[in-house]
A and B are shown apart, each in its own frame.
Chain A
Amino acid sequence: MSYTMSEKILANASNKDSVEAGDIVMANIDIAMTHDLTGPLSVQSFEKIGTPKVWDKSKIVIPFDHQVPADSIDSANNHIIMRKFVKEQDIENFYDVNAGVCHQILPEKGHVVPGEVIVGTDSHTCTHGALGAFSTGIGSTDMAMVFSEGKLWFKVPETNRFNITGELKDNVYAKDVILNIIGKVGADGSTYKACEFAGKTVEDMTISDRMVLANMAIEMGGKTGLIEPDEKTIQYVKKHSTKPYTVFKTDLDANSLNIIDIDVSDLEPQIACPHNVDNVKPISEVDTEIDQVFLGSCTNGRISDLRDAAKILKGNQIARGTRMLVIPASREVYSKALDEGLLKIFVDAGALVSAPCCGPCLGGHTGLIGPGEISLSTSNRNFKGRQGSPDGKVYLSSAAVAAASAITGRISMPE
C-alpha cells in the first residue's frame, strides 16, 4: 500500500503499522508549545483536569512572544502565571521575554526534527512542517489534555500536494508563491487537509523560504503544512538539534493524495488585499497609499527577509507620512542583523526597530493602526481589525515589496 507523509507520521506516532485518511488515531506528542497569550488558558484547563504533574517536562516548550515586554498589568500578570507554571512543573524549555517569536524559536533552538508530531496553541504551528514534522495548531483545552496525557486524538487528514515548478523572477519570493496559492484555492481550499509543498521550485528554496510556505497553510484551512525532508533539511536539523529524527516521504500513488500543479515562472509579486487572505491580486493591480509598514512576524521576520528589505532601503528614506516598524523574529536574527549592519540601514532610513516579538501582527501589543489607516504587513493575516481598528485595512506582501513601499508611501514594486 501507498501512503502520504501525514499518514506515515501519524501511524508511527500512534504505534500502528498503517493508518489512512479518515481514521481517528490517538497520537503520542513529541513537542507541545504554548506561549504567553494562549498559555494562561491552557494552564487553567490543565489545573481543572487536576493531574498534578505534566506528562513530560522535557517535551513542553514555552516561549513568550505575543506581549513582550508586558504592555499592561494584565499581560504582566499572564507572564507571572506562566513563569509560575514553568517553575512548578520544572519545564525545561522556557524562553522568557528576550527570545523571540515561538515559530522561529522552535526550529532555531532544535526543538523540531523530521517525523515528529508537534502541537501548539497557536494556529501557525503548521510552520514546522517545513522540516518534515506533522505540526498543527490546537486550542487550550486540547493542550491541557496533552500536558496531562502526552497524547491527542487526530482525524488523519487527506492531502493537497502543491507541485510547484518554474523559476521565480527577480523580486518574487516564497511569500508571493503562497499568497498566489491561497488566492487560487481560497481561505477554505484545504480545510481539514494536510498541505504538502513539493516540486523543483520548493527543492530550490532555502529552509527559511520553505517555512514561509508551511506557515501560511492554515490560511487555506490546512491542518498542517508539510515539505519532504531533503539534504538541506538534514543539514539544518543537524546544525540546530541533537535529537534523533525519521524521514517520511509521500508515495505519489497514495489514495488520499490530491496533486495540484502550480507554475510560478510568470508570477509577479502578490498582495493579499483587505479583509481576507485569499483576496489576492498581482501588485500591478493594487494602487494604494499606506500609513504603516510592518516588517517581521513568524512569516517574514527572518534574517533573509531583513537582508532583502535592507538591500532596498539602503541609502533611502521612508516616505513622509509613512512609518515603518522592523521587528526581527528572534534574538538570533536580531543579533545577526546587528552584525551585518542591517539594523543601522533601517534606523538611518527612518524605521523603528523593536525587540523580537509578534508586534502588530495580531493587533494586541504594539504598533496598532487607527480608524481609516492602512497597513502593509509581511505577516500572515489581514482580517478586519487584525492590526487594531476594525475600520483600518491590512495588506500583506513580501519583505521586498514592504521595503519598496515604505520608500514611496504606496504599495510599490521593488526596482
Chain B
Amino acid sequence: MKGKVWKFENDIDTDIIIPGRYLIYTDEETLAKHCMEGLDPNFNEKVNEGDFIVAGTNFGCGSSREHAPIALKGAGIAAIIAESFARIFYRNATNLGIPLLEAPGISETIENGEKIDIDMEKGIITSESGKKYEFKKLPPFMLEILESGGLIKYLKDKK
C-alpha cells in the first residue's frame, strides 16, 4: 500500500473524528464530509483515496460510535498508523476492514504530507526519504478479515 501521510497528535478522540451531531446519519458519504471537521473543516476534500493517517498515542479514544471509522473509510483513508489505539475504535475499524498498525516512534519523525509504503507481510513502513518503521504484524485471522473488507464480508465468505 502506498499513500500520503496526514499527521495528527495524541488522543485524537471520536468527537474529533465525527462530531455527535452527525451520528443521526449512517451513510459513508455523509459521514465522510464531516470527518475531522473540528480540526480541519476541509479534511475530506483534501484527502485522496488510499492516503494514511499517522498519529500519536490513544488514537480513537472516546465513544463506541462506529460512525468514526466509517467516516474515515469514506474519506478514503486506507490505513491508520499510530503509537497506540483506543480499544473500541480498534475493534470497530478492524471490523470495517481498515488496518490499524502500531509503529512505535513513527509519530516523532514522519512529516505531514510524506509518502509512505506499507508492507503488510513484512511489517515494515518505508518513507519516500528512506526512513523505516517496524509495526507489530497482524495475526492471520485479522489479515483475513481485512482482506475480506470487514467482519461481515469475512463471515459471509466463510459460509
Contact = CB atoms under 8 A, between A and B. Distances in A.
Interface of A: 37-38, 40-41, 44-45, 48-50, 66-67, 72, 74-75, 78, 120-123, 125, 137-142, 144-145, 187-188, 191-192, 218, 221, 223, 276, 362-364, 368, 381, 383-386, 388, 390
A67 B21 CA distance: 10
B66 A140 contact: yes
Contacts of B66: 38, 41, 121, 139-141
Given A72-B24, A363-B15, A142 B38 contact: no
Contacts, number: 124
B88 A139 contact: yes
B151 interface: yes
Nearest to A276: B11
Interface residues of B, number: 39
A383 B15 contact: yes
A188 B11 CA distance: 8
A276 B13 CA distance: 9
Contact of B65 (A38, A50, A78): A38
A390 B88 contact: no
Given A41-B67, A121-B64, A381-B15, A141 B57 contact: no
Contacts of A276: 11
Contacts of B118: none
Given A41-B26, A141-B66, A191 B152 contact: no
B58 interface: yes
Interface in B138-159: 150-152, 155-156
A187 B38 contact: no
A257 to B, nearest CB: 19
Interface string B2-45: 00000000010101100111111110000000000111000000
10 contacts: A120-B64, A123-B64, A139-B88, A141-B151, A141-B152, A187-B11, A187-B58, A191-B84, A223-B87, A383-B15
Nearest to B15: A383
Given A191-B84, A363-B21, A390-B37, A123 B62 contact: yes
